[in-house]
């Protein structure tokens, strides 16, 4: 990797690693209390250089303005079981004092043209570097497992077709997005039963582990 990029991306890498620990820690605290965790799992990545350059070109972002204008060089994803959990997670993020929220984008009530649904929270996160504090932007995407399934598949197809989907695929993806949303709605309706079953299962596991 070119040295310039290595220096530029260093605080982003640091932030992703730190935030993965912190956000996974939130899940661990729910588990410890033996209550339903609104967070199912957390992932994080630093955007590959090729994708940064691609996006900068598409959006006309000068390379010397990446820090302020590209909000997702560092990205975290928090997956939830139920749609209602998303708001719970957002509220937990709003209460934290290790970063500030600079923007929220609700693509759940206002889905994207493609059918994409997720809740995006952009934060300003302070990273302690040896030369001092660096404040960087990080995008946290919060979505259900069903929304994540759809987005992952659509993302790979997008790569294959470079964003220009044949009409039939575009329509199928939109129908699939609606089906994923319907799945979320159905699961929400039997949420109580699911959670009871999960709690019973985890109690059984605890007993087994202590045997
Ligand atoms: P990658 O590979 O995930 O890093 P825009 O690019 O105009 O849509 P903007 O201003 O960059 O939007 O911010 P937005 O829409 O809040 O966040 C962009 C990111 O959200 C994308 O990053 C994706 O991760 C995700 N996303 C947004 N729309 C879609 C979509 O239609 N399908 C899928 N699968 N993901 C989407 P990148 O940079 O596109 O890609």
User: If we measure between CA atoms, which residue out of 187, 192, 75 comes closest to residue 142?
Assistant: 75
Atom of ligand 1 nearest to the CA of 155: 34
Query: What six digits make up the tokens of 15?
Result: 């932030």
Q: Whose CA is nearest to atom 8 of ligand 1?
A: 112
Mean pLDDT of the region 71-88: 98
Q: Is 178 a known active-site residue?
A: no
CA 203 to centroid of ligand 1, rounded, Å: 39
Q: Does residue 13 carry a pLDDT above 80?
A: yes
ipTM for the whole complex: 0.91
Contact 30, 36 (CB under 8 A): yes
Atom of ligand 1 nearest to the CA of 151: 34
Q: Cα(69)–Cα(12) distance, rounded to whole angstroms?
A: 14
| pLDDT score at 130 | 95
Q: β-strand 74-80 against 132-144: which pairing, if any?
A: parallel
pTM: 0.92
| pLDDT score at 53 | 97
Quick one: how many helices (H) and strands (E) in the chain? 7, 5
Enumerate residues lining ligand 1, CB below 6 A: 47, 51, 55, 72, 105, 112, 114, 116, 120, 151, 154-155
CA 185 to centroid of ligand 1, rounded, Å: 24
Min mean pLDDT across 97-111, 123-137, 152-166 is at 152-166
DSSP H stretches of helix in the chain:
3-33, 49-58, 66-69, 83-95, 145-161, 167-189, 191-210
Min mean pLDDT across 9-13, 89-93, 199-203 is at 199-203
CA 71 to centroid of ligand 1, rounded, Å: 10
CB environment 2-23: b (16+ within 10 A), e (fewer): eeeeeebbebbbbbbebbeeeb
């Amino acid at each position: 990797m070119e040295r310039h990029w290595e220096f530029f991306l260093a605080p982003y890498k640091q932030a992703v690693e730190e935030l993965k620990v912190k956000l996974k820690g939130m899940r661990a605290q729910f588990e410890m209390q033996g209550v339903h965790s609104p967070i199912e799992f957390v992932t994080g990545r630093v955007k590959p250089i090729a994708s940064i350059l691609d996006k900068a070109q598409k959006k006309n972002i000068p390379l010397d303005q990446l820090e302020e204008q590209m909000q997702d060089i560092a990205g975290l994803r928090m997956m939830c079981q139920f749609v209602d959990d998303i708001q719970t997670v957002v509220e937990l993020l709003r209460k934290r004092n290790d970063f500030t929220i600079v923007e929220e984008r609700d693509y759940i009530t206002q889905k994207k043209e493609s059918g994409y649904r997720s809740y995006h929270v952009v934060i300003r996160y302070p990273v302690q570097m040896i030369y001092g504090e660096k404040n960087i932007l990080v995008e946290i995407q919060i979505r259900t497992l069903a929304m994540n399934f759809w987005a992952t598949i659509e993302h790979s197809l997008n790569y294959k077709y470079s964003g220009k989907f044949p009409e039939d695929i575009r329509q199928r993806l939109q129908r699939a997005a609606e089906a994923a949303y319907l799945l979320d709605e159905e699961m929400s309706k039997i949420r109580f039963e699911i959670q009871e079953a999960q709690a019973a299962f985890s109690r059984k596991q605890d007993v087994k582990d202590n045997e």
